[in-house]
Structure 1
Amino acid sequence: MGKTIKCDLSTKSIQNAINKLKVYQNELQRKNEIFVKRLAEIGLDVIQTTMESIPDEEKGSYYTEIINDQNGNIVGASVRLSGEKVLFIEFSAGITYGTNDYPLSSGNSYGMGTYPSQKEKSDWDNPNGWWYTDESGHPHHSYGNRAYMPMYHAEQAVIIAVRKIAKEVFSS
């Protein structure tokens, strides 16, 4: 990706080098925008694929938020997932049929029986499921839901793709 610009110590040569640097700067900004957009698309595609397997009543919305600098140049992107139940979709809730803990590199453990406001720690692992009351006061039986992990899987896909996409975009 490196670029060499040579110049002599003359006004014309220095101006020519400045012009080449401006072209290179614009080219680099354009390539950076392509790089960011492609990685965001990969993350969003993984989330979309994951969300297709989730029941409609549990789904949230997902979108890409583009991050611009003060000049309006794209400098980053954030793939977002929002909705009332997205934490349950990502980390699971009250699951009674076993799953591995949520795989966080920080060493924190999220998984079965770890929901902070859980009333009784023994409820989550009852093989007969458990009951909860919805906002309108109606009781519901549940065996919980598994962790679909759309954000985790999107992050992993982006991490895997970074070098490949960088080589494709910046080597041309």
Structure 2
Amino acid sequence: MRVEFTVNGARQTLDLDARTTLLDALRHHLHLTGSKKGCDHGQCGACTILLNGRRINACLALAVMHDGDDITTIEGLGTPEMLHPLQAAFVKHDGFQCGYCTPGQIMSATAMLQEARAGWPSHASAALQGPVNLSDTEISERMSGNLCRCGAYSGINAAIREVAAGADTAEAAE
């Protein structure tokens, strides 16, 4: 089946078997290997990407279901010369060890910060409406779909807190 979508700002057209997952289309057909195949069951978050601005596990989605959609992978966030703020914060706070889960963690954190800025509550939120306080408990709840087998959670949380604080500062200055 023919499927067309925009990946990291570039229009892509692929002829795929209808059973091809979005993760396999990205990794094997477009050679974007940043998104990892961890569990292949949607439980680890290593394959997290942004689909139309919202985070999903690419291993659970069939590519043909997303004809016309906009996809962002870790390769679309920043470059080695110009890191995305979350990428830079992960490096600064040692938010990775082996690095396998890092792309999924960063993609999930990107969406999670957008969700928090929009006021979306989580299970750990004190209130259903109003501003979200990104405490460690709140961050951990919102990032619970992403596992780090090396246990770099303290660095991951520190990186997310730093970027969230910077975003709050930037928004206040506007």
Do Structure 1 and Structure 2 share a fold, with TM-score over 0.5? no
- Higher radius of gyration, 1 or 2: 1
TM-score (structure 2 length as normaliser):
0.24
